[in-house]
Amino acid sequence: MQEEKYDISGMHCAACSASVERVTRKLPGVDRSEVNLTTGIMTICYDPSQVSPEQIIAKVEKAGFGAALHAENPESPPPSPAGTEEDPLRRKKAELITAGIFSLILLYVSMGQMLPFGLPALPLPDLFSMHTHPVNFAVLQLLLTIPVLYCGRNFFTSGFKALVHGNPNMDSLVAIGSACSFLYSVVMTFLISDAPHSYVHNLYYESAAVVLTLVSLGKFLESRNMQKTKGAITALMQLAPDTAILAASGQEVPTSQLKSGDLVLVKPGARIPADGVVTEGSSSVNESMLTGESMPVEKEAGSEVIGGSVNQNGVLYVQVTRTGQDTTLARIIRFVEDAQGKKAPISKTADKVAGVFVPAVMLIALLAAVAWAVAGQPFSFVLKVFTSVLVIACPCALGLATPTAIMVGTGLGARNGILIRSGEILEITHSIDTVVLDKTGTVTKGEPAVTKVVPLNCEETVLLQTAAAVESVSAHPLAQAITAYAKEKGLTGLSRPSAFENLSGRGLLATWEGKTILAGNQRLLEEHGISHAPLLTLAGQLSAQGETPMFFAADGHLLGLISVADPVKETSAAAIQALKQQGIRTVLLTGDRQAAAEHIGALVGVDDVIAQVLPEEKAGVVQQLQAQGRKVMMVGDGINDAPALTAATVGCAIGTGSDIAIESADIVLMRSDLRDVPRALRLSSLTLRNIKQNLFWAFCYNTIGIPVAAGLLYLFGGPLLSPMFAGAAMSLSSVCVVGNALRLSRAKL
């Protein structure tokens, strides 16, 4: 099976996207076809031996829409959104203002002579009075309506085209309703001279014009708001700078021309053009737009940097390691785009309804009109009912309910360093009741650090100086932890040992400043006959907690003990407490010893600890929990926990967004902060609630609006709904749905 994306043009509502899905799914070899109304992208999975891209495009075009392969060109900078979206929006605004002006004048002319409640008629030149010059009165309205029809021509071209292709959409409803009112009014205009006082009251030009204007207003507000929902992707795309400075020549070249291995100069205040490694210089780098981390990150020689982040106060020389679509920024953009392009399960209900909605509305409008005609109502009354039912029906609200919330939700997550792979994941994450946490690198920092310094018969400074000096010749992680700790304490410039020997499994023997230094475990001291009894109990306690105590002796005398461990992250306990407050059961899963695991578990407050589990066995533990009926989120580093991440209901990779993590996990937390796990769960809950609110509004609106438009209230002595009010209500419903989705963007996670 092959998966491809196509840009679909000509879609205006959920009925359109449902039509495209329906016709493409009928093609031989098509496994699935999903169309996202908000992004205009169709994702189709098919067997290339049975159907070709040309056949797919032809099928979509036969249904009345345009289709083209979705272009992804990472080598060229993304186009400015101003050139792609604001120009059509500006044109829509100009046409809307023009239509609004003519519609207001038309309303003044047509309704000003017929004010209710005994109000005096609005002044109008006698030349256009409905009483003295009825033909002039009608012709003026006709002339005022034509510019409005021209401004709303898209409704007619799109609506009738869709109708001819057998895929009626929302534009079809508006076009039929408005055209019927206009054509009926034109006929009445020609007949006015025969019976002026009868036909002059049967003009519905204002209905045809004002309906188009109000629906156009709704479309404009909807488009403007939809542009805001795409803000996350737009902001990410604008992060990549257009040019970079080559360090060797000082020449400024397009970023798209950079190759792996190039050395670039990044000045203070400039954006880093691509992923790379700092070879020279030091500075603070702002990575907030990529990781959500508000504090700048210190960078020096050897530090990795992310393309798109901002160099703040120093000059950096960066060797490029990844370009184009391989960069972290490009991967994040693809991640968010994929999430916004995939549908959540809850949207399937709306899609099924939308697929039959427009034909059903047309049938209801026709039946209502026939029923009132049979009941003896005049044709003008029947026309008003027919038009109102067509206009008030709004599949737009139905089709926008889910994708707009998904777009805003994934964008909100991206701004907070939480990348969610799909709408489905965003929806199901809220149902998680058990979070399984890997220990190393997730709950703990993942790198050894000094936790305790216990001097014996000497000052702490002496112990640290001796330890740092002899360990400086070792590449062992424990040795590096000690030398790093000594630097933090200001112990620098120490002389190196004149001789040293690595003793496998025990430690090392060194000569430093004329002294024989031993650095290692209990066994090393025993071999050299050095008593460690004063520190034996403490060493045993530290070992039981998963720490590694290291003894140091000089010329046969014990100097003390330094304990090294993988320390718990400062935020882990708070994160687990936040999960518990959400009613989530927490499980610590590790290959470490039981006693050490339980010590870490007690420090952070998890509900359960499962220790001494091999990496390949972690997936089995996740499956056992799922067999108990639990919805499990596995949180790991995305590499050695890959089987467990895949087996879990939701796999969550925590860290700095490594390649494997971004490609494999359902959720990627760009910061190494466990507090983003409860934030991701809250984001899911907020988004799902927003979707349900939108769907409720869309279904509720149509359930109430269509019967009222069909004359239900009039049947019981109430008013008959005007097509103008129907158009206003229809536009308002779409704007409300998109506006409610935008409200989600202001939520605090």
In this predicted model, what pLDDT tens digit does every residue of 109-144 receive, in sequence order? 887 666 555 556 677 788 888 778 888 989 999 999
Alpha carbon distance 4, 12 (integer Å): 22
Residue type, position 48, single letter: P
Total Cβ atoms within 10 A of residue 155: 26
3-state secondary structure labels for all residues of 104-164: HHHHHHHHCCCCCCCCCCCCCCHHHCCCCCHHHHHHHHHHHHHHHHHHCHHHHHHHHHHHH
**Lookup: tokens for 214:** 């109000």
Residue type, position 533, single letter: A
Give the model's pLDDT for residue 660. 57
Give the model's pLDDT for residue 629. 92
pLDDT, tens digit, 9 for 90 and up, residues 269-309: 899 999 999 999 988 888 766 665 556 778 888 888 888 88
* Distant-in-sequence, close-in-space partners of 47: CB < 8 Å, separation ≥ 6: 1, 2, 29, 30, 31
Give the model's pLDDT for residue 75. 40
Adjacent-strand bridge partners of 78: none
Alpha carbon distance 523, 560 (integer Å): 15
Alpha carbon distance 312, 303 (integer Å): 15
Alpha carbon distance 142, 322 (integer Å): 64
Alpha carbon distance 175, 77 (integer Å): 40
Please provide the DSSP assignment of 673-699 as one string: -TTHHHHHHHHHHHHHHHHHHHHHHHH
Architecture of domain 259-322: Distorted Sandwich (2.70)
- Indicate if the pLDDT at residue 646 is higher than 50: yes
Mean pLDDT of the chain: 83
- Indicate if the pLDDT at residue 80 is higher than 50: no
Residue type, position 452, single letter: K
Give the model's pLDDT for residue 578. 94
Q: Which of 108-112, 386-390, 675-679, 715-719 has the lowest mean pLDDT?
A: 108-112
Superfamily assignment of 449-565 in CATH? Calcium-transporting ATPase, cytoplasmic domain N (3.40.1110.10)
pLDDT, tens digit, 9 for 90 and up, residues 200-220: 777 878 878 887 887 788 778
At 177, phi and psi to the nearest 5?
Answer: -60, -45
Report which DSSP code applies to 748: -
CATH number of 2-69: 3.30.70.100
Q: Give the confidence band of 662 by pLDDT, cuts at 50, 70, 90.
A: low
307, 327 in Cβ contact below 8 A?
yes
Give the model's pLDDT for residue 545. 81
CATH 3.30.420.40 fits 418-443+570-676, yes or no: no
- Indicate if the pLDDT at residue 420 is higher than 70: yes
Which residue is listed with tokens 């939700």?
Answer: 409
pLDDT, tens digit, 9 for 90 and up, residues 561-600: 999 988 888 899 999 999 999 999 999 998 777 888 888 8
3-state secondary structure labels for all residues of 154-192: HHHHHHHHHHHCCCCCHHHHHHHHHHHHHHHHHHHHHHC
Say which of 262, 438, 666, 676 is annotated catalytic. 438
Residue type, position 115, single letter: L
One fold for 259-322 and 418-443+570-676? no
454, 440 in Cβ contact below 8 A?
no
Among residues 431, 444, 443, which one has the least CA distance to residue 584?
A: 431
**How, if at all, do strands 557-565 and 449-455 pair?**
antiparallel
- Show me where the domains of the chain are located: 2-69, 88-230+338-405+691-746, 259-322, 418-443+570-676, 449-565
- Indicate if the pLDDT at residue 56 is higher than 70: yes
Q: Is 126 a catalytic residue?
A: no
Identify the residue with better confidence: 236 or 612: 612
Give the model's pLDDT for residue 79. 39
